[in-house]
Structure 1
Amino acid sequence: MVNYMSTKEAAALWGIGDRQVANLCKNGDIPGAVKQGRSWMIPADAKKPADKRIKTGEYIQSAKPATLPLPIGISDYRLASSSYYYIDKTLMIKDFLDERPMVSLFTRPRRFGKTLNMDMLRVFFEKSEEDTSAYFKNKKIWACGKYYRDFQGKYPVIYVTFKDVKCDSWEDTYDLICQILRNEVQRHRELLNSDRISTYDKKYLEEVLEGSASESDMAMVFLNLSRMLHTHYETAPIIIIDEYDTPIQQGHTLGYYDKVIGFMRNLFSGGLKDNPHLSFGFLTGILRVAKESIFSGLNNITINSILDNKYSSYFGFTPDEVKEMASYYGVPEKYDEICEWYDGYRFGKSEIFNPWSVINYFNSGCEPKAFWLSTGSNEIIGEVIAQADQDIYEKLTSLVSGKTIVSYVDTSVIYPQIKQNPSAIYSFLLVAGYLNAVKVDSSFGDDYMCELALPNKEISFVYRKEILQKLNNIIPQSTVIAVQEAIYSGDGQRIQKLIHDLLLQSVSCFDTVGENFYHGFMLGLCTMLSGSYTTSNRESGEGRYDIQILPKTPVLPGILIELKAEKHCSQEKLEQLAGTALEQINSRKYEVDMVARGVSVIFKYGVAFSGKNVVVAVG
């Protein structure tokens, strides 16, 4: 016969509240518990369920394989640090504790370790019934001294991540955000049984958990939950919000930007602005979004952007860390290739590699690919191209050709500015990881004048793919493939015919041909041929040519294009203009630069267009 005990007896035995025991029974966490009337009866030999917030030692293993597996997609610090190859970033905790700002915002590109670092902070600081120091005793932070160790496991923590909130509508976005908030409230269900929490507050928590709370009540979850945790534990909690701007970016892309901004503003302000029940706050994201007043009046926030030196080495891998990793996996000779593909970022004064791509590179047998391309939306590049004017086309052309540009950078750029302010494009591309600041000359408050470039081969591939997709109406994919085949096979005559046909086809894509055609065509050519050619429009010989397509090896043919345009031209006039353009290439000796570089075969095109009509003279 089974002996039972009441919830009150179990509560006394386990040292927790009567209501908490009842909730454990209700949630099926106590095997064998049965309900009799309104009361739960629990097997007398039942064991107290483990604290689900953190289970110390869950991933600690006594024996480890000779070579640790790679942490692909692992954002759980306990698992990553104990069962996978883990690059120790725990000194980030020391740097924080040395300064202890009230609220810290870290802005970094996607897949640069933000979520893993935030979970590391959670595990380090969170108060738990178990001893979580096991995950730090062999890490750098533990060797820093007793002062830092005394912070470990001392705070209640509110932790949410919005990294997967990528919905098509505001309604679905709101539902998913509410579910994330409910899950966090459920993680702190000990409050429902606390003698220190009022009946009114417990009712609020129950409404949140049941899904019956209003939108305004959901917007107060951070404020109310932090207040109750402070009351229950007599220690103000830490609030950690990971990837806070993912729903905002999605809202911008899909047209519900204002709605998501309105809700997030109330949610964050309640938890972070003048909240007496807050010890510290941490946020991560791609953008700062300060100008949206999403952190309106929040004067206790410290911004740590990619241009700041603080914390610069904690997101992404440093050269020494990559060298050590390559040696560990037995391929130290691959370091130069890793640099070529995945290095090139500079955060503050630190040289940084893309961690996601480096890990996947080792996992794929050291075969270089554009791993970062598939980790999120690159639609912003398409939006840039759609809004591009002459200056943007020229700068994108320079970037894809491997050159640098100089631009003013506003680190608090916001999504709507991409359409409203063309200069904001480069700021966004920089903070989102599509550009690198080669040189930062000066600061204007929070803004900078930067020399910008594409970081590496991987990002160059991303640009080429996105640009070609957006310019597909100018340069069909079939033509791209045909031109590339002709280049790699060294078939000069086929290249000549394809470029000739391409010029004829491209002009017909525009209702009114003008500068947009010229720059769009040039950008498309640059993108299409960037593996074997560079393009430019600068002075050579006795003048400035329109387009030069210079082969990277003199074995391939060079290409010069001169454009002429007039309105309402007859066919005869167009033929004359095309001849004049071709003659200009010859008379002004535009080919001297190529000849000096050893290029022996040079194709010359004089192109005249009027509306959708075009004539190409070949020399």
Structure 2
Amino acid sequence: MSFPKITQENELLKNKLKAVQKEAELQQPPWEPSPKKQKIMTQGTATLFAGKIPIGWDNFGEIMNGGCTFLDKTLLISEFIECNSKVSLVVRPRRFGKTINLTMLKEFFSIPIHLDNEDYRRELFKDTKIMKERPDLFDKHFCKHPVIFLSLKGFDNCKTWSEMKVKLLGMLTTLYKNHSYIYDKLDPYEKKRFNQIRSEDENCKRIDDALVDLSKHLKDYHRSNCIVLIDEYDHPLDIAYRYQYYEEARGFFASLFGALLKSNDKNLEKALLVGVSRVAKPAGLNNLKVFPMHNKKFVDCFGFTEDEISILLQHNDMKCQLDDVRQWYNGYWVGNYLHLYNPWSINSFIDDGTLKAHWIDTGGTKAIKDLLWNSTEDFKNNTLTLLKGHAIKIGIMEDIDYNMLTQKVDQILWTLLYYAGYLTKNENDELCIPNMEVFMEWQGWLTNSNWIQ
């Protein structure tokens, strides 16, 4: 008869131990600010924190603390704050610095669990443009908002909708675990729902409410509206199209994003979504403002400018190769006045010193490849014109959907190629191939399709 008592006492002891561990975790010493390891260089509009080249690094905090090279894009923070749109979508080609920028926004806005760690955050932004030019924003917004940061990368192997839902639930579980500190403030029903997500319960219903619920809990806990940052927003629908469960995924993400970003003003401060294509524009979000590459907003926040390339090459003793670098990697015409370079290509060139096609699109071309086989003779003739170095006058569609991919094939294909970075617009609003690197991609890619001779 004593065994149940011992078991009960052990259970109570175990719970007390967990509580002590949790309290100790929350009271751990704050992170120590790490002095900048980079040399600061300026030229024109560019500020460079000069260090080692960050190949494969995409986290702002790790780059700054790791002594890596960082071209200062911190004025994105002020542009984001002062943008008239509450919910913004920035579309840029792959490997254009989108993830680094989102993690930078997270470091700026998010409220540290340990208040003393604000010093650590402030050190990350020491000597940056935002601190020098807009110190007022630190008083109003720095470490003042709870942040919901969700990266939708990593669905490549999800061949069914069930597999995608399991993967997504895992992402939501991680997100909830990151905010476990709010748990004790929830009511019993909220705790039950919170635990279902946090424990990755596959029987959990209505996971499409998980983000809007979290925004409410964070607002109630911090008494401050949430900043929402979504990376690779379009990736899941691209995969769903590839494996033919697009409608199921589309309906779910419309509900997930709609609940969080529409009619949620009491919990939402602002939101920024980034991705490659407008094909997967979230359904029902009529409050979403889209900023493509030809829009002047956020124009120099993604990609490298001419001043930035010049100072980067100077730091690496490669300034003499500037003309060759321009020919190979320059050419993305943005905002009707500025040329940009792909950061991945430049960093890879500096890392190995070879002028070649470093930019390889590792995903997101399934729709393009499918459409190539159904393109018209007119499309093929225009492609030959492009490969001869000429521009073509073709309109880009504003909003398309995967359901439209069997309609207006040529126009949709040009649109996909433009947003994916295979084309850019010139000063005359014509489409052209941006540079030698992308030309090499076109040549090899289309030759393999058997209809370019």
How far apart, CA to CA, are the structure 2 residues paired with 1:172 and 1:138?
A: 45
Q: Of the two structures, which has the highest relative contact order with CA contacts closer than 8 Å and spacing of 6 or more? A: 2
Cα deviation 1:8-42 (Å, max 9, x = unaligned) = xxxxxxxxxxxxxxxxxxxxxxxxxx976443348
What is aligned with 1:468? 447
Tell me how far 1:261 sits from its aligned partner: 0.7
Who wins on radius of gyration, i.e. which is larger? 1
Pick from 438, 445, 449 the counterpart of residue 426 of structure 2: 438
- Aligned CA distance change for structure 1 residues 412 and 44 (closer, same or farther; 3 Å): closer
Matched, 1:121 2:105: yes
Q: Contact 1:287 / 1:413 at 8 angstroms: preserved in 2?
A: no
Matched, 1:312 2:295: no
What is aligned with 2:373? 386
Q: RMSD over aligned Cα, in angstroms?
A: 2.6
Residue 360 of structure 2 aligns to a residue whose secondary structure is helix
Structure 2 counterparts to residues 293-372 of structure 1, below 5 A? 294-296=282-284, 298-348=285-335, 349-364=337-352, 366-372=353-359
How far apart, CA to CA, are the structure 2 residues paired with 1:337 and 1:57?
A: 43
What is aligned with 2:6? none
Return the letter of the residue paired with 1:435.
L
What is aligned with 1:71? 54
Q: Contact 1:226 / 1:277 at 8 angstroms: preserved in 2?
A: yes
Matched, 1:173 2:164: yes
What is aligned with 2:151? 161
- Aligned CA distance change for structure 1 residues 245 and 125 (closer, same or farther; 3 Å): same
Matched residue count: 424
Q: Contact 1:378 / 1:466 at 8 angstroms: preserved in 2?
A: no
Matched, 1:89 2:73: yes
Residue 143 of structure 1 aligns to a residue whose secondary structure is helix
More strand by share: 1
Structure 2 length-normalised TM:
0.87
Structure 2 counterparts to residues 437-586 of structure 1, below 5 A? 437-439=425-427, 450-471=429-450, 520=451, 523-524=452-453
Pick from 108, 111, 116 the counterpart of residue 95 of structure 2: 111
What is aligned with 1:273? 262
Cα deviation 1:365-394 (Å, max 9, x = unaligned) = x20121111543544443232011110110
Q: Contact 2:36 / 2:64 at 8 angstroms: preserved in 1?
A: no
Matched, 1:286 2:286: no
Q: Contact 1:305 / 1:411 at 8 angstroms: preserved in 2?
A: no
Q: Contact 2:166 / 2:202 at 8 angstroms: preserved in 1?
A: no
- Aligned CA distance change for structure 1 residues 431 and 136 (closer, same or farther; 3 Å): same
What is aligned with 2:5? none
What is aligned with 1:253? 242
Cα deviation 1:224-249 (Å, max 9, x = unaligned) = 00011111111121111111000111
How far apart, CA to CA, are the structure 2 residues paired with 1:160 and 1:227?
A: 16
How far apart, CA to CA, are the structure 2 residues paired with 1:43 and 1:390?
A: 70
Q: Contact 1:319 / 1:352 at 8 angstroms: preserved in 2?
A: yes
What is aligned with 2:128? 139
Cα deviation 1:271-304 (Å, max 9, x = unaligned) = 00010211111111112347x6x341x3432211
Q: Contact 2:93 / 2:276 at 8 angstroms: preserved in 1?
A: yes
Matched, 1:40 2:16: yes
What is aligned with 1:25? none
Structure 1 length-normalised TM:
0.65
Return the letter of the residue paired with 1:193.
D
Tell me how far 1:168 sits from its aligned partner: 2.5
What is aligned with 2:360? 373
Residue 333 of structure 2 aligns to a residue whose secondary structure is strand
Tell me how far 1:187 sits from its aligned partner: 0.4
Identity %: 26
Q: Contact 2:95 / 2:343 at 8 angstroms: preserved in 1?
A: yes
Q: Contact 2:92 / 2:292 at 8 angstroms: preserved in 1?
A: yes
How far apart, CA to CA, are the structure 2 residues paired with 1:424 and 1:224?
A: 37
How far apart, CA to CA, are the structure 1 residues paired with 2:196 and 2:83?
A: 38
Residue 372 of structure 1 aligns to a residue whose secondary structure is coil
What is aligned with 2:184? 193
Residue 470 of structure 1 aligns to a residue whose secondary structure is coil
Tell me how far 1:212 sits from its aligned partner: 2.3
How far apart, CA to CA, are the structure 1 residues paired with 2:195 and 2:272?
A: 27
- Aligned CA distance change for structure 1 residues 206 and 322 (closer, same or farther; 3 Å): same
How far apart, CA to CA, are the structure 2 residues paired with 1:50 and 1:338?
A: 49
Return the letter of the residue paired with 1:460.
F
Tell me how far 1:43 sits from its aligned partner: 12
Residue 448 of structure 2 aligns to a residue whose secondary structure is helix
How far apart, CA to CA, are the structure 2 residues paired with 1:45 and 1:452?
A: 60
Residue 25 of structure 2 aligns to a residue whose secondary structure is coil
Q: Contact 2:102 / 2:231 at 8 angstroms: preserved in 1?
A: yes
Tell me how far 1:403 sits from its aligned partner: 1.4
